[in-house]
Chains A and B, each alone.
Chain A
């Protein structure tokens, strides 16, 4: 077990490229900040997975259903791995994390607080929102001083890259479609552009401990800026309009109009347009599947009793 005399010595260790492992006597501040971050990520994977699941029966065609099945499994699997890593940190148990989430006491990504109205919304999510989430996860993976989190992120990032290809493929199909299909996507883009841009959060606090402790490798505004530079020309290239009247190209750099952060703040209070329904659905899902967990517990207990006999 490694330990550090004070925060200064610990930070020097991180600056030297040190990686923290579960058995280390890490400073309490580091433990609680990293835990909160992983819990937020786990909650977001779970809520995202449940959203994907809603669209399995509605996805047009067997192949798309197969893709949505696989994506749902991916997200729930990622949540599972992240909850394992988070619970091991000893701040909250897995059950406590889930109960906090289902009772509306926890946070998860802003994008899962909105309603997906049409199939085109689901494509906008796969194309725009998954890309924003992936950019954010990649920037965490790039440094990430907490060993178990970094190892899980490696696989998450690889799998989310695979989802993005599906998003591109689905968008291409729609852009090559009828006028109605194209206008469906434009309407979805109008709903999802700002939530996707806001996913990165407001400008980072200069003293953000997650940056200092190398959990995050890039500031929120840097990630947001890069995202806008990539997606504005792509979407315009497909003939869509970005729902930002003040968007300007200045010396080859895209500059967004002023961002209204109120919608993001509302989602962080679980007061977004679809927050209540989403949380309620997730909570009901947890209650409805209690019998599965109970049967498994009984089976495991019986097996251990049989083994002991």
Chain B
């Protein structure tokens, strides 16, 4: 008769820091529902992750208070984290402060938004650069686009619509 295999993780109880580290890694797999391929970490939604034993609290900030995706994001976070054997319960809290701003988006995500979604951020002087042709001849068209977090512009050079993160 062979002794049951016991792995290190089941013999040593996970510390709170281990659990937080695991939660941090799992959050990288939770994509924004409107931008498949971009995680909520990339978009700067994650403010704090805390753990006591196997209970995790993830504090998120919404891009817009009325964002219709909040419920879905919270459900996706809970599902992703509770799949880890070290995490028994995950609570998501939406914080009222700090306010989200596009500065919270990581550089990797900014590149990705531009290259795969043709969505750009306005530079500090207010100018826009076309994510398709690189030209700065981009004119604002309307204050809101398909979502409240984006406006619409038009590139006169390559003649494509460009969406701008507000």
Q: CB within 8 Å of B: which residues of A?
A: 21-23, 63, 66-67, 69-70, 73-78, 80-81, 84-85, 88, 147-148, 151-152, 154-156, 158-159, 161-162, 165
Give residues 123-137 of B contacting A (CB, 8 Å). Answer: 132
Contacts of A88 in B (CB 8 A): 159
Q: What are 5 of the A-B contact pairs (CB < 8 Å)?
A: A67-B68, A70-B147, A84-B141, A151-B161, A165-B33
Give residues 100-130 of B contacting A (CB, 8 Å). Answer: 116-119
Bitwise interface map of B from 138 to 166 toward A, beta carbon under 8 Å scored 1, else 0: 00011011111000101000111101000
Known: A63-B71, A154-B116. A148 touches B160 (CB 8 A): yes
Question: Cα distance A158–B144 when bound, in Å?
Answer: 18
Q: Which of A77, A80, A147, A151 interacts with B147 by CB under 8 Å?
A: A77
Sort chain B's interface into a size bin.
20 to 34
Contacts of B145 in A (CB 8 A): 77, 80-81
Instruction: Determine whether the beta carbon of A162 is less than 8 Å from that of B69.
Output: yes
Instruction: Determine whether the beta carbon of B72 is less than 8 Å from that of A165.
Output: yes
Contacts of A151 in B (CB 8 A): 118, 132, 160-161
Q: Does B85 lie at the interface of the complex (its beta carbon under 8 Å from any beta carbon of A)? A: no
Question: Cα distance A260–B100 when bound, in Å?
Answer: 52
Instruction: Determine whether the beta carbon of B146 is less than 8 Å from that of A81.
Output: yes
The chain B residue with its CB closest to the CB of A84 is B161
Instruction: Determine whether the beta carbon of B159 is less than 8 Å from that of A158.
Output: no
Instruction: Determine whether the beta carbon of B68 is less than 8 Å from that of A154.
Output: no
Known: A74-B147, A159-B146. A81 touches B68 (CB 8 A): no
Sorted nearest first, the 6 A-B pairs with minimum C-beta distance are: A77-B146, A70-B68, A22-B159, A77-B145, A162-B33, A74-B146
Least distance between B159 CB and chain A CB atoms (Å): 4
Contacts of B154 in A (CB 8 A): 84
Q: Which of B35, B68, B161 interacts with A148 by CB under 8 Å?
A: B161
The chain B residue with its CB closest to the CB of A154 is B117
Question: Cα distance A63–B152 when bound, in Å?
Answer: 27
Bitwise interface map of B from 64 to 79 toward A, beta carbon under 8 Å scored 1, else 0: 0010110110000000
Contacts of B119 in A (CB 8 A): 155
Contacts of A75 in B (CB 8 A): 146
Contacts of A165 in B (CB 8 A): 33, 72
Q: Does B4 lie at the interface of the complex (its beta carbon under 8 Å from any beta carbon of A)? A: no
Question: Cα distance A21–B133 when bound, in Å?
Answer: 12
Contacts of A152 in B (CB 8 A): 161
Least distance between A71 CB and chain B CB atoms (Å): 8
Instruction: Count chain B CB atoms within 10 A of each CB in A151, A154, A159 and give the residue with the most.
Output: A151
The chain A residue with its CB closest to the CB of B38 is A158
Contacts of B142 in A (CB 8 A): 80
Contacts of A21 in B (CB 8 A): 158-159
Q: Does B36 lie at the interface of the complex (its beta carbon under 8 Å from any beta carbon of A)? A: yes
Known: A69-B68, A70-B68. A147 touches B146 (CB 8 A): no
Least distance between B137 CB and chain A CB atoms (Å): 14
Instruction: Determine whether the beta carbon of B144 is less than 8 Å from that of A77.
Output: yes
Q: Which of B34, B72, B148 interacts with A158 by CB under 8 Å?
A: B34
Bitwise interface map of B from 30 to 41 toward A, beta carbon under 8 Å scored 1, else 0: 000111100000
Known: A66-B66, A80-B145, A81-B146. A155 touches B163 (CB 8 A): yes
Contacts of B117 in A (CB 8 A): 154-155, 158
Instruction: Determine whether the beta carbon of A158 is less than 8 Å from that of B36.
Output: yes
The chain A residue with its CB closest to the CB of B150 is A77
Instruction: Determine whether the beta carbon of B118 is less than 8 Å from that of A154.
Output: yes
